[in-house]
A and B are shown apart, each in its own frame.
Chain A
């Protein structure tokens, strides 16, 4: 696959904004792969954590936005815990979710959550789920 890298992409303002919101510096990542290795959900992610970092370094935030990755992150912090560079992919993914949710869009609509789940589930699952998925 041919990848075209342009200065404008690498200096993407949108990536800079994401860095500001998440408190992370995407250039710190040296692509060791520990985050994807430790991530329990990387098997189901269209773009696993290590690749997310590479895409962002190259200014390709669009593909990361389209991927299911941010919605599958469980916030377990294994990526951060095992990153030799102290990068939190979890914070980056939360920043991306925040971007969507703050515009008022939702991943999951409240009316779509099954009633038996609402009745039985721990409150913390519902509160946390709403905060992660509902705009």
Chain B
């Protein structure tokens, strides 16, 4: 693989409360041998793909991101599952629907045709780098760690627009964790919702949904939960103390971004992985496993 430079869209959250997601991914990329080149111009993607075809105005923000990406290459990578979902779905509308393409282009004053290829960072690792090569770069295997790979919704659905992996039985995330030396566990709620934006006004539902994700993971033996989305990460970590309170049989586990797990396995300095920004603590687990 020659030196790869991939245009990269961080999105709002990775620039602020999920900074550790961004920095660990960039560092891991440079160890593996590619560079994430942040777009010189970008804006918020809107954080939700409009579910009704009637809402074209909701496509203009992501379309602006896509058209500025087009000026920097033919591929765009992103880390947050929501950004990925919104950009990929918007891109498909622009590519396939001429009428909407014209309306959107008229609005943003661009001539974008939907030709950028949107890749999640996981896809870059699987399809451009190869998990074998990732495995070869591992210096600190996550040996003996039973890890729950929590996909959530936006990385997978709807299948015909996203298609990163099978909608009901994906394996891309487990395959990565296995390459890092961890043992992925199979758990019931790995593709169920964490409660998403109800974080804003309905703590009960979020605790219930996130609680089901975490209890099903821990019941399956997970000692660590790994995420691909700052909102999943936030909802799980925020709900965990309440889940532990109401369910005395529940043992809290650390929750980390997959790029933090990746960086750890690639031998990055633990201090640089931003674990202190997470609200759950991974250090006791790492000590127990003799990794730190």
Contacts and interface: CB of A to CB of B under 8 A. Distances in A.
A18 to B, nearest CB: 10
Contacts of B11: 124
Interface string B195-225: 1111111101100110010000000000000
Interface in A87-135: 88, 90-91, 93-95, 98, 107-108, 112-113, 117, 120-129, 131-133
A124 B230 contact: yes
Interface in B4-49: 11-13, 16-18, 44, 46-48
Contacts of A61: none
Q: Which interface class (under 10, 10 to 19, 20 to 34, 35 or more) fits A?
A: 35 or more
Given A94-B50, A122-B234, A129-B201, A80 B157 contact: yes
B48 A20 contact: no
B248 interface: no
A72 B204 CA distance: 11
A67 interface: no
A129 B158 contact: no
A123 B50 contact: no
A123 B44 contact: yes
A12 interface: no
Contacts of B204: 44
Contact of B51 (A20, A72, A75): A75
A122 B13 contact: yes
B159 interface: yes
B33 to A, nearest CB: 30
A65 to B, nearest CB: 16
Contacts of B169: none
B151 to A, nearest CB: 11
B110 interface: no
Contact of A123 (B13, B196, B212): B13
The 6 closest A-B pairs by CB, nearest first: A129-B200, A76-B193, A94-B51, A123-B12, A127-B47, A128-B197
Interface of B: 11-13, 16-18, 44, 46-48, 50-55, 58, 80, 82-83, 153, 157-159, 167-168, 192-193, 195-202, 204-205, 208-209, 212, 230-231, 233-234
